[in-house]
Amino acid sequence: MSANVFSTGLFLPAQAAAETEAIITKWFVAEGAEIKKGRVIAEVESAKSTFDFEAPCDGRIEKLLYADGAAAPFDKPVAVVETSDESMRSWERPAPASPAAVAEDAPRMAIMADKLEPSVRTISLLGFGAYLPDRVVRNEELLAGFPDVTADYIFKVTGIKERRWAAAGVKPSDMAYEASRQAIENSGLKPSDINAIIVSTTTPDAVMPSTACILQGRLGIRGALAFDLNAACSGWLYGISVARGLILSGIAKNVLVAGVDMQSRVLDKSDKDTYFLFGDGAGATVISGVEKGHVIKDEILSADPLGLNMARREYPGYEVPANSAAFDPWLRLDGKALFRFATESFSAMVRELIAKSKWRPEEVRWVVPHQANGRIIKAAAQKSGVPFERFYLNIDRVGNTSSASIPVALCEIQNGLQKRDKIIFCTVGAGITAAGLSLEW
């Protein structure tokens, strides 16, 4: 053994003071294996919990002192490791957690003693955040397998020149975290001020737990209620309406609503109706009943099962399994039916929101539609009463980012907005769902 390498014992991380031993359910390393600090090397079950045993240093496992399934004491080493980490020379067995610390580490349920009065009526959007992956995918990159399709043709029928796709290893919660972190920071609030988290997604990290709970952990927020919502591309606006209801009912004061979708991994490369349309991204905002911000005026929410087959996917999650012969795992669209429905829905929602908000069409500063398809938006503008130049489009650069598309677009225009500017959001999604919202900046 070289001079700077030495052997030391590894102790299980102590739990409550009353516990004396735990069962090593399974070792994930063998004798002679190299280990890295922070890597999980065993699963352990104590009287109160099951937990991961992480390596406290880099090194090599010299000897495992207890076998799988054995009961190991907390006050004796369970393994011997060779390491050159000098901090391990003075490393001592972790002390048992005090009752107070155990209580602090236990799951925390929020109890809001100072509920809002249900009479509160002004609900505001505060900070906004958005995230787009670094990788730019231009139309030319997607032409393999389509000898009769050109990049110009894709742009002509979709309005898209390029989109962003997430790198391998990135999860939807990673994108949602970046957008949400920005939104909270830009709201002027602290993460601990958030009482509820709603994540709109059709591509969750897992079936369970919810991506909202995963995001909650990343943000370091404890005790707030958290859940996912699936209204497809309408989800972010659905989420804002649900957040508004939570605030008006007194359940929450400040609600984080994130929209995130990673469709790039669920696209059939041979399907011309879907392959060119979608990009990945995330957007978020904070909705508040106690802080002054950008005031929600009116909302529209609807769904119609006659559109069930217009947009669909049979398999959950953000990736396609290797063996999917028994079912269709890909995202599918009925493009022609969607075009007709979206065009009529967008234009009708714009007209109705203007009327409900008691505005005039010429007062609308921006219509920010879901970036579904450039041709759909142009056709809708012609019937809406608002000039097309007031419809904000970024679809040429980011593609259709599903429930993230409106917040991503809003983040792009927010610096040019002035107090009391009037804005309309509108969207359609699988279900088939539709949503609209009017906002006074």
Catalytic residue numbers, as ranges: 233, 370, 400
Task: Report the half-sphere exposure of 208 (CA within 13 A, side-chain side).
Answer: 0
Pairwise CA distance, residues 152 & 140, whole Å: 9
Dist CA 92 CA 105 (whole Å): 22
Rounded-to-integer distance, Cα 192 and Cα 100, Å: 20
d(CA 260, CA 16): 39
Contacts 24+ apart (CB under 8 A), 376-383: 376/338, 376/339, 376/342, 376/343, 376/346, 377/159, 377/346, 379/339, 379/343, 380/342, 380/343, 380/344, 380/346, 380/347, 380/350, 381/347, 382/347, 383/343, 383/344, 383/347
Q: What are the angstrom distances between the C-alpha of 126 and each of 257, 284, 319, 366? A: 11, 10, 33, 18
Whether residue 221 contacts residue 252, with contact meaning beta carbons closer than 8 Å, is answered with: no
Q: Pick from 233, 257, 245, 243: which is nearest to 129 by CA? A: 257
Per-residue CA distances from 160 to 169, 232, 392, 399 (Å)? 26, 20, 14, 6
Rounded Cα–Cα distance for residues 166 and 266 (Å): 12
Dihedrals phi, psi of 213, to nearest 5 degrees = -70, -35
Contact 60, 81 (CB under 8 A): yes
Distance, C-alpha 404 to centroid of its chain: 9
In order, the DSSP letters of 128-149 are: EEEE--S-EEEGGGG-TT-TT-
Bridge partners (DSSP) listed for residue 391: 367
Instruction: Please tell me the distance from the alpha carbon of residue 318 to that of residue 263, in angstroms, as a whole number.
Output: 7
- Kindly report whether the peptide bond that precedes residue 209 is cis, defined as omega within 30 degrees of 0: yes
Residue 408, Cβ neighbours under 10 Å: how many?
27
